[in-house]
A and B are shown apart, each in its own frame.
Chain A
């Protein structure tokens, strides 16, 4: 009974603000604190806000490209780590995972300084690279968890029965790790879509992403349009995370 109460409270703690946010996105009033009846008005405003749509396109872009990069780099890295023997492995593992515990602000400043140092003008490309940098460990961790659980005998059996290394990978290994890869990719996509801090530092002209745009909109008053936008974001992020979990459960 007690436990239930506590879990109920923590759920409320987590979700009540979000529910309030979603409810007020249907508010007919311009004021976010006064309820004046149900309306889809702000969703209409949202649909015709060009600056916001451009920012949304940027965000999708960055998420898609950075996710592709981290999957292409992260999956081989995870498999390679698993196969690596000896002392190098531990330290390499730590180095790969370090960015996970590094404060994001430090990561943002470091990336910014790096880009300035090599004289790479800030743009969407730098945002993509920044996102790839913090998402790489995420993919490595998730894919490795799966790779570690693979039964090495399966691959050995395949090789025994005459399959080449490539065939073994395509027929045996890949199908087994694929759910983890998809799950990791979706999670990386979501994290990239929602990221503010690193983006804030490395965004240049023409690369305002959705979170950056929302942040600057708040400055000029919290309009229910932001509520509407946030509701859309929350729902889509939840959907993506749900998909990611579903893949991992397989």
Chain B
């Protein structure tokens, strides 16, 4: 069996090479954990698209550290992973409401303001956010709004209210987020309610409205609605500003509006985990990420707004003036932060399931 013998030897050599490589890798890691002049390693747990290799590389160069990135795809996944016992991460990026949840569970380390000089130049509305007014645990990183992306070539006149999502003329060409809080939030706002209501009758009324809307909805999607907009499959999409701004690049007639009833404002925040072994380095890393120029580059790439107001000076004008990325200042007071509704989550869960089953 000459062929099989050949394969065996190849596999054998490959295994030995792998093992040797493993040895090198391990020795590098042990080296990095102790001794003078050793390289510190920082574990950064973030959203999959949030990190650009160049920025990580720059931080590694300037701070003589090694950064290992792992990614998650939802706040719930992040929480589950940390609750499940994953330790060893240093810095992570929960959204606003998840900061409160994680802080309440004692997962977060207190920040050291002295190590975070860039905290002083936050956007005004992010200086004392309700979920963490004194920045005890969290530093806002990127922020934005939830509104409506629409194709101005089809949708006329330009919509200014959530009601357009109930317009029968666009039957089958509407997409909603696949996110119960956001979908109910939009209806509750259009009913003049808070999107954080815990009143079961309000949630029930919102559910009835959503059931009435369902025949018009092509899909509930949180991921690829930018592609649906760009390809023309939908002409109205409830969505985050960033992806809508991305769709504008492929189809210039796409516009973005935050309805007059207001919508969600969100911020993804940098936090240090309580179990982090490298807290000082973690703070340096956070300060680096919210530095005006670094944040401006991130902002331009992701089309989300930067938390550092000085970043505006470094961001391209067309992006800065795009309402999908930077909402106009007069809108901010109309926006609402999503809050953890605690036990009332069960009401939303049930209403959402009922809606989906219709």
Residues in A lying within 8 Å of B, measured CB to CB: 30-34, 50-51, 60-61, 64-65, 68, 112, 115-116, 121-123, 178-179, 182, 201, 203-208, 212-213, 215-222, 243, 247, 250
Contact = CB atoms under 8 A, between A and B. Distances in A.
A96 B250 CA distance: 55
A51 B227 contact: no
20 contacts: A31-B230, A32-B227, A50-B53, A51-B53, A64-B15, A68-B15, A116-B85, A121-B87, A122-B88, A123-B88, A182-B7, A204-B87, A205-B45, A206-B70, A216-B47, A216-B48, A217-B49, A220-B47, A221-B226, A250-B1
A72 to B, nearest CB: 12
A222 B224 contact: yes
Nearest to B42: A205
Interface of chain A, main secondary structure:
helix
Nearest to B85: A116
Nearest to A51: B69
Contact of B231 (A31, A203, A220): A31
B48 A205 contact: no
Interface in B208-246: 222-224, 226-227, 230-231, 233, 243, 246
B16 to A, nearest CB: 11
Given A61-B18, A182-B4, A213-B48, A219 B74 contact: yes
B62 interface: no
A208 B48 CA distance: 11
Contacts of A61: 18, 22
Contacts of A179: 4
A68 B15 CA distance: 9
Closest 9 CB pairs between A and B?
A: A219-B73, A116-B85, A216-B48, A220-B49, A205-B88, A205-B43, A216-B71, A216-B73, A206-B68
B69 A116 contact: no
A188 to B, nearest CB: 13
Given A182-B4, A205-B43, A206-B68, A112 B48 contact: no
Interface residues of B, number: 39
Contacts of B69: 51, 208
Interface of chain B, main secondary structure:
mixed
Interface string B37-80: 00000010101110101000000000000001111111000000
A213 B14 CA distance: 25
B36 interface: no
Given A33-B233, A250-B1, A222 B74 contact: no
Contacts of A178: 4
A161 to B, nearest CB: 23
Contacts of A60: 18
B89 interface: yes
Contacts of B227: 31-33, 221-222
B35 interface: no
A221 B223 contact: yes
A123 B41 CA distance: 14
- Best-surrounded residue of A112, A122, A207, A213 (most CB of chain B within 10 A): A122
Contacts of A112: 84-85
Contacts of A217: 48-49
Contacts of B53: 50-51
Contacts of B246: 221
B4 A208 contact: no
A6 B49 CA distance: 43
A121 B88 contact: yes
B73 A215 contact: yes
